[in-house]
A and B are shown apart, each in its own frame.
Chain A
Amino acid sequence: MNLGFFAFCVFSTIAIFGALSVVLKKNPVSSAFALVMVFFAFAGLYALIGAHLIAALQILVYTGAIMVLFVFVIMLLNQDTPVNDLKESSGLFKGVAALALAGLAMILIHTVLRAQDIVAVGQLTEEKITAQGGNLRVVSEALFSDHVFHFELTSFLLLGAIVSTVALAKRKTALGGES
């Protein structure tokens, strides 16, 4: 019995059905909890493939931070459940959309099938990563040596995000000044 493939089947089924219920559920709260399920399934997939750092960060960042933000905003807006949320469109538009979707699906399937006979360009095979101290160590060393400049740049991105979010969420008073 191959446990890795079995776990892959379980996690991918959870991910796909969770993603479908994110899109199709009418209530935003149900969508948010389906999204949590998808994030956990993705963390499982990362762990299966050996990306342990990404799996841990997926749970910390996505289910820990981003989902809390989403649930807070849903709570803050306190809206009633919309009855007919789906967009209505004409028959011609639906035909064009179906054609575009078929084209996109063909391109994606072609790419996935071609990925089976890619020749590896790097040297870091599974055994070599284990010999060098595991995925976490290898990724961290690459992040803080070759790519440290990009890592520092993300701090500017986060600072900009914080400043712009505060500026957006600031409530204007009736006199025109900001409080």
Chain B
Amino acid sequence: MIPELQPWMLLIVAMIVFTIGLLGVIVRKNLLIMLMSIELMLNSVNLCFVAFSRIHHLVEGDLTALFVMTVAAAESAVGLGLVIALFRTLRTVDSDQIQMLRD
């Protein structure tokens, strides 16, 4: 017996991917991989919005997912610009090496 595809099943995938993304931000030291993990989290939240939009029979979740996509594009552009500016001064993308305020 194979069940029908229900919208709440997507929430499980979104939950797992969000947790993996959070783990990536906490565990990794490479700033690029941290940004990629943030993208993973934003994507899983998008999936949640669309799934809840289907569950509630509304269309607003789809629209919110669109706006989240815009914010994600802006965020990754600014974040990567920051990474490049940082690499120019410190010659590294290791987040543990950013300690100019300490010394």
Q: Which A residues have a C-beta under 8 Å from some C-beta of B? A: 1-2, 4-6, 8, 12, 15-16, 19-20, 22-23, 28, 31-32, 35, 38-39, 42, 45-46, 48-51, 53-54, 57-58, 61-62, 65-66, 69-70, 73-74, 76-77, 79, 82, 85-87, 97, 101, 104-105, 108-109, 111-112, 115-116, 118, 120-125, 135, 138-139, 142-143, 147, 150, 154, 157-158, 160-162, 164-165, 168-169, 171
Task: Give chain B interface residues in 50-70, CB to chain A under 8 Å.
Answer: 50-60, 62-63, 65-67, 69-70
- B contact residues around A161 at 8 Å (CB): 73-75, 77-78
Instruction: Please state if B81 and A124 are interface contacts (CB–CB under 8 Å).
Output: no
- A contact residues around B55 at 8 Å (CB): 115, 118, 120
Chain B residue with minimal CB distance to A7?
Answer: B5
Instruction: Please state if A19 and B77 are interface contacts (CB–CB under 8 Å).
Output: no
Instruction: Please state if A115 and B66 are interface contacts (CB–CB under 8 Å).
Output: no
Min CB–CB distance A8 → chain B (angstroms): 5
Min CB–CB distance B51 → chain A (angstroms): 7
Interface of A is mostly: helix
Min CB–CB distance A154 → chain B (angstroms): 5
Instruction: Please state if B16 and A16 are interface contacts (CB–CB under 8 Å).
Output: yes
- B contact residues around A22 at 8 Å (CB): 20, 24, 33, 36-37, 40
- A contact residues around B60 at 8 Å (CB): 142
Instruction: Please state if A23 and B70 are interface contacts (CB–CB under 8 Å).
Output: no
6 contacts between A and B (CB under 8 A): A15-B17, A45-B47, A62-B39, A77-B93, A111-B11, A157-B74
Instruction: Please state if A6 and B2 are interface contacts (CB–CB under 8 Å).
Output: yes
Q: Which of B40, B81, B85 contacts A19 (CB 8 A)?
A: B40
In the complex, what distance in Å separates the CA atom of A54 from the CA atom of B59? 12
- B contact residues around A53 at 8 Å (CB): 62, 66
Min CB–CB distance A170 → chain B (angstroms): 9
